Structure 1
Amino acid sequence: MLSQILTIARTTFIESIRQPVYFLLIIIAGLAMLLTTWSTGFSLGYSEAGEISGDNKLLLDVCLATVFLAGTLIAAFIATSAISREIENKTVLTVVSKPVPRPVLVIGKYFGVSGALIIAIVQMVIFLLLALRHGVMTNASQEVDMPVVVFSFSALGIAVFVAMVGNFLYGWHFAQTSALLMLPLMVLAYVLVLIISPKWEIQPLLKDFKPQSLLACIGVVMAVLVLGAAAIAASTRLGQVMTIVVCFGLFLLGLMSNFLLGDRAYVNDPVARIAVAKPERDRFESFTGSGDIYELTLRSGPKRSINPGQAIWYGPAANGSANNVPNYEPYAGPLGSDEMVRVGTRPALIVTNYDASALKVTIRNIGDTGLPVKAPPKENDYLFDQPTKLNAPALVIWGLIPNFQFSWLLDAVAQNQPIPIGHMALLGFYTLIWITAMLSLAVLLFQKRDVG
C-alpha cells in the first residue's frame, strides 16, 4: 500500500508542477511582492520599533496576503487536474482497476498535490523575505537594495534560461524545469542577500533574518495545506470552475468565521474595560485565594451601573468567549462580614466598592475556598455583569469551518509580540486534524463516484 501511495504521489507531483498555471502564479506572486516595495509607503504612522516596523508592516501584510491567495489558487488548479480532470478523461479508471483502493488513490493524490504546494509556497515566501529585506521605498532619495535585485532576478533568469535551453535541446518540460530549478536558486539568492549588505559588504548571516515573519509564513503554509485537502475533496465531485469557487469560498469563510459566527457563538455585553489592575497586597496577586482583593481602574465610565455586592466576570474577549472566571452562583449575603469567607459559603466574585469619580472598582474573591479563576484581571480585560451564554447553532457551524485566523499571525508580528512555539505546535495539530477530516470526506465522496 505504501509503495502505491508513493507512486501515485510522485506521478501527481510531476503532473502538478508541469501545469503552466503553476509556474505562472509563482512568478506573478513573486514579482508582485517585489514591486510592492514601491507601492506600500502609506502605513499612516506605523513607527514602532521591532522586527518589522514603519511602512514594512503594510508591506508584510500585502505580501503575506499575496502568498495566501496565490497558494489558494494553485491548490484549486492542481487539485482539479489531479482528480476531476482524470475522471472526465477516464484515465483514473486504469488506476482503480489495477486494483488500487480508492482511499489509497485519494491519499496519494493529496501527497503529490501537497508536495507541489510546498515547493510553490516556499518560493513565494522567499520572494516575501527578499521584499522585507529590501524594504519600502518611502521617498525618491532612498537607494534600491541592489543585492536583492541582482540575486533575485539572477536566480529567476538562470532558472528560465536553463529551462528554455533544456526544452529546446533535450525536450525538458519548461514549467517543471523552471519551478524545480528556482527552488534551490532562490534559497541561494536569499542566503547571499543575508550575507551581503545593501552596500555590498559582508555582514553577519542573521542580521537581516526575520524569524517571526518566517513563523507567520509557516502559519499560512499550514492553512494552504488544509485548502489543498479541501480542493481534493471538492474535485472528486466537481469540475474545475466549481472547485475553484469552493476553495475561494472556504478561503473567505475561514478568514471571516470569527466575525460571522464566532462573535455570535458567545453572547455577552461588557460593562466596562480595565485600564489598570493591581492587587491590594502582593500576596493577592494570583487572585485565587478566598479574601483576595484587586483594585481596578476603568478606561471610561461603565455602560451600566456597578454596585457593591454585584457579581462580576472578566476576560480578554469582548464577547465573553474567553472569560477567566468560571460560572458561579452570585453571593447574596451581607457585605463586609466574616460570612463572605466562612466555611460553607460558595465561591464567588463580588464588587466591594465603586468610586465613580475615580472610575475605580474593588473586587474580591470570596467563599470558603475562593473561586478558581484561570488568571487575575489584567490591563485591557473586559468586565461583565453576567455570565456568558452559548449560542449552540452558531457554535456548531463555527466549529465546522476551518478557522484560518489561527494561521494568520500577522497581527502578532505587526504588534511586536513574539509568536509562541507552543502556539505553532497547536496550530500544526489543528492543521493535521482538518487535513484528516477533509481527506476522509474526499474518500467518502469518491468511494461511490462513477469513473467508468
Structure 2
Amino acid sequence: MGLPCPTNHPLRSTSAAMLSQLLTITRNTFVESIRQPIFIILILAAGLGQIINVLLSAYSMGYTEDALEVSGDDKLLLDMGLATVLGIATLLAAFIATSVLSREIENKTALTVISKPVGRPLFITGKFLGASGAVLMAATIMLVFFLFAIRHEVMSTARDTIDGPVLVFTSLALLVSLGLASWTNYFYGWVFPSTASIILLPAILVAYLVTLSLNKDWVFVGPQETFKPQILMAAICIGMALLVLNAVAIAASTRLGQVMTIVLCAGVFMGGLLSNHLLGRFAFQNSHIATIRSVQEPFPPNALNRAGDTYAISLEDPSQSIIPVGTNIYYGPNPAGVALAVPPQGEFLGDPIRDVEVRNPDAPSALVVRSVDAATQTYTLVNVNNHPVARPPRAGDFIFLQPTRHNPVAFVAWSVVPNLQVFWLSDAITQGHPIPPRYLLLTGAYTGVQVLGLLSLAILLFQRRDVG
C-alpha cells in the first residue's frame, strides 16, 4: 500500500504567504525611508544640536550636586539633549510616514501593491514596521550623539577642557561614514543617505564603546567607570516614545498630506507632554499633604489589614501641621491619588487607643491615626474593624486625608491621548531618584498598548480610503 502524498496545509500556506508579503513591504519601506535625503540631514542636525547644547548649558548656573549621574549644569544638558532627540526624531517620523504612505496613495502606487492582492491591514502593518525600523535606526544614532554630549559634560569654568576621546572618536566615525558614502556614491552610484546611515550606525556605536574605556586624559579606566545606566534607561524610553509617535504619523498619513501630518504630530507631541496637566489632573482629583520618609515595621509583623494592626510612619516635612489623632488616613504611590492602597472608609468616632473600640465589629472600618510624636513627625496608624488595606505603607508613599475622586470622561481622554511624560525620565534623574529596571517593562507594555491602538485606528481609516 502506497503512502498518501503529502499536501500543503492551506492555512499554513496562507500564513507563509502573508508573512512573506509583510517582510517584503517592511523591507521596501525601510529601504525607501533611509534613502531620503532628509534622513541623514536630520541625523546630522541632531549631532550638531548636541554640540550646541553643550555650549548653551554652560549658562544655566547650575550648582546642585545631589543627582546620581548628572549634577550642576549637566542637568540642563540632560534635558536639552533628550528634548533635541525627541523633537528631531518626531519630525523625521512625520516625514517618513508621509513619504511611504500618503505620497504613495496620492501617486496611486499603493494601488499596485494592494491589488496583488495584499490586505490593507497587512499593508499598513508593513509600512509601520519599516518606518519604525528607520526611525529607531536614526534615533539610535541621535541618542549616541546625546550620550557623547553627556560624557563630554558642560565646560562651566575656564579650567574645564575638551574631552579628547569624545572629540576624536566622534569625528572619526563621522569622517569614515561620510567619506565612504561619498566614495561609493561617486564610483558605484550608491545612494548617499542610506549608505552613510548604514555605515554611521555601527561606527558611532563602536566609537562610543571605545570612548567609555578612556577618561579625558586618555587613560584606560574601564567602561564601568564612565557608563551611566540611568541615562541609558532614559534614552531607551525615548526610543519607545518614538514608536508611539511613529504610529501616530502612520495613522495620520492614511488621510492627510505631509503638512497636516507634521502639524498633527506636533500637536500630539505637545499634547502628550502636557496631558497630565490638561487631562490627568481632572481624571484623579486629590491632594497629598505629606510624603512618607520611613516606615517602622511592627513586631510581630502584620499586613495592616486586620483590626488592631498598627504601623509607624515618619513624614518627610517636619514643618507641616500635625495630623490629629483619629484622622482617617489614605496613602499610595502617586501624588495625584492614583491606585491608593486604602479603600474608602467610614468615620471612626471612637478612641483609637482602646483596643476594644478598634476591634468592635459594629464600628465603621477605617485606618486612622492612633498616636503622634510631634517632635519627629512620627505617626502610628491602626486598622479599625478589619478595613481591607491592600498593603502596608512604604517609604516614598504619599499621604492623603480623603479618597480620590474620579472623573470618567477625563480619565478616558487621558488614557487615549499618548502620555509622553511616561517616557520622560529626565526629572527623575536630575532629582536623584533611581529608576528601577521594572519601569522599562511597564513602559514597554504601555508602548505596546498605544501602538496597537493607533495601528488599529490607522487600519480603520485606511479601509475606506480610495487608493485607485
Structure 1 unpaired stretches of 5+: none
What is the aligned partner in structure 1 of residue 25 from structure 2?
Answer: 8
User: Following the alignment from structure 1 to structure 2, what is the Cα–Cα distance between the partners of residues 178 and 2?
Assistant: 30
Shift of 1:98: 1.4
- The one of 42, 58, 61 equivalent to 1:25 is 42
What residue identity is the alignment partner of 1:9? T
1:205 corresponds to 2:223:
yes
Residues 99-151 of structure 1, C-alpha deviations (whole Å, 9 max, x = no match) = 11111111111111011011101101111111111111111221111111111
Q: Is the 8 A contact 1:10 1:112 kept in 2?
A: yes
What residue identity is the alignment partner of 2:71? S
User: Following the alignment from structure 1 to structure 2, what is the Cα–Cα distance between the partners of residues 188 and 307?
Assistant: 61
What is the aligned partner in structure 2 of residue 331 from structure 1?
Answer: 348
What is the aligned partner in structure 2 of residue 375 from structure 1?
Answer: 392
What is the aligned partner in structure 2 of residue 170 from structure 1?
Answer: 188
1:39 corresponds to 2:63:
no
Q: Is the 8 A contact 2:334 2:397 kept in 1?
A: no
Q: Which secondary structure does the structure 2 equivalent of 1:206 belong to?
A: helix
Q: Is the 8 A contact 1:286 1:376 kept in 2?
A: no
Structure 1 residues 151 and 354: alpha-carbon distance in aligned structure 2, compared to 1, 3 A threshold: closer
- The one of 125, 131, 134 equivalent to 1:107 is 125
Q: Is the 8 A contact 2:370 2:380 kept in 1?
A: yes
Shift of 1:353: 4.9
What residue identity is the alignment partner of 1:430? Y
Q: Is the 8 A contact 2:304 2:391 kept in 1?
A: no
Residues 404-444 of structure 1, C-alpha deviations (whole Å, 9 max, x = no match) = 21111222322333322221112111111111111111111
Q: Is the 8 A contact 1:274 1:299 kept in 2?
A: no
What residue identity is the alignment partner of 2:433? Q
What is the aligned partner in structure 1 of residue 6 from structure 2?
Answer: none
Q: Is the 8 A contact 1:284 1:293 kept in 2?
A: no
What is the aligned partner in structure 2 of residue 363 from structure 1?
Answer: 381
1:423 corresponds to 2:439:
yes
What is the aligned partner in structure 2 of residue 147 from structure 1?
Answer: 165
Bigger shift: 37-46 or 66-75?
37-46
User: Following the alignment from structure 2 to structure 1, what is the Cα–Cα distance between the partners of residues 148 and 277?
Assistant: 33
- Percent identity over the alignment is 43
User: Following the alignment from structure 1 to structure 2, what is the Cα–Cα distance between the partners of residues 382 and 62?
Assistant: 33
Shift of 1:278: 4.8
What residue identity is the alignment partner of 2:327? Q
User: Following the alignment from structure 1 to structure 2, what is the Cα–Cα distance between the partners of residues 278 and 16?
Assistant: 54
User: Following the alignment from structure 1 to structure 2, what is the Cα–Cα distance between the partners of residues 44 and 152?
Assistant: 27
Q: Is the 8 A contact 1:12 1:113 kept in 2?
A: yes
Q: Which secondary structure does the structure 1 equivalent of 2:290 belong to?
A: strand
CA RMSD for the aligned pairs?
A: 2.4
User: Following the alignment from structure 1 to structure 2, what is the Cα–Cα distance between the partners of residues 222 and 358?
Assistant: 43
User: Following the alignment from structure 1 to structure 2, what is the Cα–Cα distance between the partners of residues 387 and 324?
Assistant: 10
Q: Is the 8 A contact 1:349 1:371 kept in 2?
A: no
Q: Is the 8 A contact 2:352 2:368 kept in 1?
A: no
User: Following the alignment from structure 1 to structure 2, what is the Cα–Cα distance between the partners of residues 438 and 257?
Assistant: 17
What residue identity is the alignment partner of 2:47? G
Residues 206-231 of structure 1, C-alpha deviations (whole Å, 9 max, x = no match) = 32112211111010100101111111
Structure 1 residues 276 and 154: alpha-carbon distance in aligned structure 2, compared to 1, 3 A threshold: closer
User: Following the alignment from structure 1 to structure 2, what is the Cα–Cα distance between the partners of residues 12 and 408?
Assistant: 29
User: Following the alignment from structure 2 to structure 1, what is the Cα–Cα distance between the partners of residues 437 and 196?
Assistant: 34
User: Following the alignment from structure 2 to structure 1, what is the Cα–Cα distance between the partners of residues 374 and 226?
Assistant: 51
Which aligned pairs between 1:58-77 and structure 2 lie closer than 5 A? 58-77=76-95
Q: Which secondary structure does the structure 2 equivalent of 1:40 belong to?
A: helix
What residue identity is the alignment partner of 2:183? V
Structure 2 unpaired stretches of 5+: 1-17
Bigger shift: 277-286 or 15-24?
277-286
1:432 corresponds to 2:448:
yes
User: Following the alignment from structure 2 to structure 1, what is the Cα–Cα distance between the partners of residues 397 and 184?
Assistant: 61
Q: Is the 8 A contact 2:295 2:393 kept in 1?
A: no
Shift of 1:350: 2.1
Q: Is the 8 A contact 2:70 2:430 kept in 1?
A: yes
- The one of 126, 137, 141 equivalent to 1:123 is 141
User: Following the alignment from structure 2 to structure 1, what is the Cα–Cα distance between the partners of residues 381 and 333?
Assistant: 17
Residues 274-318 of structure 1, C-alpha deviations (whole Å, 9 max, x = no match) = 56555495446754442215365564444xx95443323233444
Bigger shift: 349-358 or 375-384?
349-358
User: Following the alignment from structure 1 to structure 2, what is the Cα–Cα distance between the partners of residues 113 and 423?
Assistant: 26
What residue identity is the alignment partner of 2:208? Y
What residue identity is the alignment partner of 1:110? F
Q: Is the 8 A contact 2:29 2:130 kept in 1?
A: yes
User: Following the alignment from structure 1 to structure 2, what is the Cα–Cα distance between the partners of residues 36 and 306?
Assistant: 46
What is the aligned partner in structure 1 of residue 460 from structure 2?
Answer: 444
What residue identity is the alignment partner of 1:294? A
- The one of 250, 265, 276 equivalent to 1:247 is 265
- The one of 403, 410, 413 equivalent to 1:394 is 410
Q: Which secondary structure does the structure 2 equivalent of 1:351 belong to?
A: strand
Shift of 1:18: 1.2
User: Following the alignment from structure 1 to structure 2, what is the Cα–Cα distance between the partners of residues 192 and 377?
Assistant: 42
* Equivalent residues, number: 447
